[in-house]
Chain A
Amino acid sequence: MTERVHDGSPGIRTAVITSRLGLSRLPSPARCVVIVIWLLVALAAIYPRAYTSLNPYAIDPSAILAGPSSRHLLGTDEAGADIFTRIIYGTRLDAEICLFGVAIAYAIGVPLGLLAGLRRGVVNEIMTSLTGGILAFPIVLFALLVVGSFGASAGTLIAIFGFAFFPQVLLMTRAQTMAVYSRGYVLSARAAGLTNRRIIFVHILHNIMGPLLVLVPQLMATALLAEAGLSYLGVGVQPPSITWGALLLDSSNYYHSDPLYAITAGLVITIVAALLLITGDMISESMDPLRRR
């Protein structure tokens, strides 16, 4: 992001971008809390052993469906595995599914959105029908079809999310491209005879990046919730893989004996989804001068 560009000194440009991200301002207490929780979640995904020394797959016949204790913070499941440990270890796969799913959505959505915004006409019409069709299709139903055809796995989920979410990226890219395209600096760049590629990369992409960035955490939250739902239906990741959704499905056998299992697994999903939504809000707030306080 600090690459040299000709229409402005790199220093100024970097400053603009960092202030856009709200990084140049001193973090408020709320910001600090959000950042700290993010670091904790990231640690769980990267190095789960920081939280627990137990093995999430370890079978302990002496502690089947044990209640909470000092050794088993949230009790154990039907095989005697520690639930807290399983929740911690579920973070990584969930993060991978959300990140890669959204990355695929952007890889498809941004180029198509640029194309639709720049070409308009027939291309635009096709994109409109395509996105309309996909958005009108319930994601659970789509997932059932795909899983029925290709089998259930984390990879299938990633593909499903990439396909289900790219229309939103496309629509956002197209709207922003159209708005930017008619602005003075793009017009003057065109008048100056710059190549299309240069206009797209330097002028358009650069200026629509902000709004596109805001969409990332929102889509990741949607992916997280959808992962939970699909895994709960049994069409998400399969054992022995662990995600929070898979744990929710697992916990459904123990509402009587261990209600804490289902409650905690869902609570973790809610907290992280809320964190993602709040982060999205913060990014958009820090980019909108009118909303800065």
Chain B
Amino acid sequence: MVGKGGAGKSVISGTMARVLARDGSRVLALDSDLLPGLSLSLGAGPDPAQPPLREAAEKDEDGRWRLKKGIGPVRAVRRYATDAPDGIRLLSCGKTPREGLEPIMGSVNAFYRVVHRLEGARTFDDWALVGDLPAGPRQVAFGWAPYAETFVAVVQPTAQSALAARRVVRVARMREGARAVFVANRVTGPADVRHVEELVGESVLAAVPADEGVARAERLGIAPIDHAPGSPAVAEIERLVAALAGG
């Protein structure tokens, strides 16, 4: 999930993950944002007993980060991912602490190395992987989502949101074999959908309506699918999941 900050990436990725899990998929949710987001939209609480992901990484003799011996993607997910509702596993890259970036460098590096090895792990062949990327093109450009078959660019009906989505889709499509699609979010009617499609220059795969239930969930910091399960927005995200699965 990519797009401008505030476009609704976490809400859509968290809800998509929940819908996939309820449909019977095993789901690994990947939060590569240093800021809070996906866990709230998934409805995953903190797990104090969870060992931190930084314990999976160490520095080699040249000071370069690597995964510790014996830790591959399967073990990393088993040991360092947290449980989210509907049986989802959530792996987070670490959250920015107040003291500065250094304390999370181990966690960030472990995360980067784990996601690069997911594709080679047969265990995950039949899992659904849903990644929530931070705002902007940075992580797409630097290969933080090598597992992605499809990049979903979330666009609000604003000029800046469309500009951001167009930019990140341009970068995503430079990747061999990667598909990128646009999804409109917080639309108030067909005119908004047309506005988004004009701004991005192509049609959208889904148009998630502006929804008071989701807005309330966002203010409260809880999962939209728990707070407003029958809402029009959640229904459209269910259709989006089906459309993506249909290729």
Partners in one complex: no
